[in-house]
Chains A and B, each alone.
Chain A
Amino acid sequence: MATDILMPALSPTMTEGKLAKWLVKEGDVVKAGDLLAEIETDKATMEVEAVDEGTIGKIVVAEGAEGVAVNAVIAVLVADGEAAPSDAGDAPKSDKPSDDEDEAPKSDKPKGDAPKSDAPTSAAPPPASPRVAAAPKPISLAPMSEAAAAEAKFYENTKSLTVREALRDAMAEEMRRDEMVFLMGEEVAEYQGAYKVSQGLLDEFGPRRVIDTPITEHGFTGIGVGAAFDGLKPIVEFMTFNFAMQAMDQIINSAAKTLYMSGGQMGCPIVFRGPNGAASRVAAQHSQCYASWYAHCPGLIVMAPYSAGDAKGMLKAAIRNPNPVIFLENEMLYGQTFEVPVDEDYVTPIGRARVLREGKDVTITAFSLMCRDALAAADQLASEGIEAEVIDLRTLRPLDTETIITSVRKTNRIVSVEEGWPYAGIGAEIAATMMEQAFDWLDAPVLRVTGKDVPMPYAANLEKLALPQVADIVAAAKAVCYR
């Protein structure tokens, strides 16, 4: 899908500015966070960053142009393979799940009119900021059960989508399927989402089912709960989960508890979704992982997808589920591309983890963005002769302990990775579960790799320090292997 890159505003009052300099040229492959251009007004200058990954398909406004209106299209970003020159070394394609740990993204997409690159980040420049520490790794399905095999079957026919598009498609498909489903939140309609996740939904479904709310989290969350009590199936978007703290009373006291409190009379079929976790350089109030907060509460299902395929399949599962679901997305992943099953019936089973990579020496569990780093760590470990098994937890409550324990019985070692704080975190839960259910299989203490136990600092170097790094995961994995 082509994405317009628009002239940004440096301030609320800015109406036009000068496009001082292009830092990229047509055909360049960019990642989220890469610098694209410099713009300036008589008051200030600013660098424009890429929001999505892709290829610069066309530069619309030439360097040096003055009086460029805010929101004018200055360039067009195309998904890799759509219209951009191909990189020479296309990765091998595979149509079926494989145990090959270096498997490239699968593609069964009919070839269009343009050459296609399946290794979008292979030609990208080195990461410019801490938030793009490693390229997203392709998912290698490693069936461990019939459920996994059934899921893998859907991956025999896929198309490339960004996580953002996958989430949008999930909502659109479910809204077509069920009249009761609607979306509400700040800027979800006219602006199509603060992170552009709801693109096209207002056009298709109209303002009755795609509703812009005031900035009033407690209010619209309670309204969503009340609508669910009345038989509707709301999707409530939080601009970020940081703001959902204002609505905690409604999420916990009303949505999570009413089925129980009312003696089973009425549950609350509702999805709360939005970006969770650290973005980049937005400091403490805008950078935190809520996974363990919500997972603590009976009555809530908590999901956190990594890949676009799961983002779609899991969101569809969440919308169809009769319980309140906390759906934790990640801003850093929105622009990342993965293979997504074409079949609209692909619904990821709730409570099933996914083995992203098989290995015999150590189990690494992760979720959301941390899967990327866990896979990168596994690559590095492989080069040192340690075969790590990487598990994407996907659902944090209910937790797929079966998959974790099956893995630990094989590897006898486990490292839990999460971006959130260590104290009473997901890793603490996994460690306790291993003590209770897999003690005899462990050859080393469970180790946790987590964010530091501090509010998120602002400075880039401190922020990087506060977040789990690939090297931390490698070190923990080696430690449990006594190497």
Chain B
Amino acid sequence: MSQLTPDRQRQMLRQMLTIRRFEERASEGFRAGEIYGVVHAYSGEEAVAVGVCATLTDRDKIISNHRGHGHCIAKGADLDRMMAELFGRADGYCKGKGGSMHIADFKIGMLGANGIVAGGISIITGAGLAAQMDGEGAVAVGFFGDGASNAGPFHESINIAAGWKLPVVYVCENNQWAVNVPAAESVPTPNVADRAAGYGIPGVIVDGNDVFAVYEAAAAAVARARAGEGPTLIEAKTYRHRPHTERIDQPDARPKEEVARWLEPDRDPIPRLIARLQAQQGQLSDQELAEMEAAVQADIARAVAFAKASPFPTLASALDDVFAA
């Protein structure tokens, strides 16, 4: 990774660790009843959000889906306000009115999670249209899953983006399962990326658990978009470590051996990155790793404290923000 300095590589590890620990704490909070809304954990897929967002600048836009915490963190969202939103507090990103599936931070170009599968794909295409009209080289990146690639907006949006050469990067996180149905039963082609051929755009398959591979694929797609050459479809093959949601009675039809295999250190994106950095002379000492882990845990603890200290929204606020003045 010649473009990425050792510092940058360590930052990427720290972001991935932050996402993992955030999700672990959110799951814990859900089980403890502190967080009463649904939580879809991104654990296991961290390399995709971090690898892609490492290629973006502040002016670039992203959109997310129901499994959106990782995308927010990778784009630079504030952990305190994220956690406060999950706790349903007034200082949350959405003042406690959005919850996990609607966290947005328009100031950093995070146009929101979206609770409707495929709902964000056309919106991010519109951000691409706006970027093209602005003509200042910004790009728009849409994150969605394998399931969304079967839905109409996937086709409608990519068809338009390809025709109009919009600066959009479509990132399909293929975690291989819908809630309980294998993606292979729903996607008739071997790869989601194969569908790119139908729009005459590049379809790139990448190991979604290798953050540097994701980074390289995204960097090429972003460069292509900035150059006005149009969109790219990236399929990042990955796996979710957790069931679809953190509900205690959430059924999980995935074979236990399959899940266990993906949790092993040679597949889990975080141990893989640690091993890689440690194998490179001087990139990451044991002490640096321990300090990083402690710092991340402190960030999460601070976010939880912030959330708990924040008041619940006032009842009067329920009627605010329906219409803009």
Chain A: residues with CB nearer than 8 A to chain B? Answer: 182, 208, 213-214, 216, 218-232, 234, 249-250, 253-254, 258-267, 269, 298-299, 301, 322-323
Contacts and interface: CB of A to CB of B under 8 A. Distances in A.
A219 B94 contact: no
A229 B97 CA distance: 19
Contact of A230 (B61, B98, B157, B163): B61
5 contacts: A221-B122, A227-B127, A232-B133, A249-B116, A322-B324
A264 B163 CA distance: 34
A263 B313 CA distance: 11
Given A260-B321, A299-B322, A226 B130 contact: yes
Q: 9 shortest A-B CB distances, which residue pairs?
A: A226-B126, A222-B122, A219-B156, A263-B95, A230-B130, A263-B94, A223-B126, A226-B123, A322-B324
A188 to B, nearest CB: 15
A223 B127 CA distance: 7
Interface in B273-325: 320-325
A223 B119 contact: no
A218 B63 CA distance: 17
B196 interface: no
Given A253-B116, A253-B119, A264 B160 contact: no
Nearest to B124: A226
B47 interface: no
Contact of B112 (A231, A261, A322): A261
Contacts of B116: 249, 253
Contact of B93 (A214, A222, A263, A267): A263
A298 to B, nearest CB: 5
A249 B123 contact: no
Contacts of B322: 259-260, 298-299
B160 A266 contact: no
A451 to B, nearest CB: 29
A207 to B, nearest CB: 10
B102 A262 contact: yes
B206 interface: no
Contacts of B96: 263
Given A226-B122, A260-B97, 20 more contacts: A208-B133, A213-B160, A218-B156, A219-B122, A219-B125, A219-B157, A219-B160, A222-B157, A226-B129, A227-B133, A229-B111, A250-B119, A258-B112, A259-B322, A259-B323, A260-B321, A261-B97, A262-B112, A266-B104, A266-B111
Given A214-B160, A216-B156, A250 B94 contact: no
A264 B95 contact: yes
B200 interface: no
B153 A219 contact: yes
Nearest to A217: B156
Contacts of B111: 226, 229-230, 266
B153 A323 contact: no
Nearest to B154: A219
Given A249-B116, A259-B322, A299-B323, A229 B157 contact: no
B102 A224 contact: no
B98 A262 contact: yes
Contacts of B129: 223, 226-227
Interface string B204-247: 00000000000000000000000000000000000000000000
Contacts of A249: 116, 119
B77 to A, nearest CB: 12
B74 to A, nearest CB: 19
B36 interface: no
Nearest to B85: A263
Interface string B82-99: 000000000011111110
A323 B127 contact: no
A223 B93 CA distance: 24
Nearest to B61: A230
Contact of B321 (A227, A263, A301): A263
Given A213-B160, A261-B102, A261-B112, A224 B126 contact: yes
B132 to A, nearest CB: 9
B114 A254 contact: yes
Interface in B99-145: 102, 104-107, 111-112, 114-116, 119, 121-131, 133, 140
Contacts of A213: 160
Given A222-B153, A266-B104, A227 B130 contact: yes
A322 B123 CA distance: 18
Contacts of A232: 130, 133
A262 B104 contact: yes
B299 to A, nearest CB: 22
B324 A225 contact: no
Given A250-B122, A264-B95, A223 B157 contact: yes
A263 B92 contact: yes
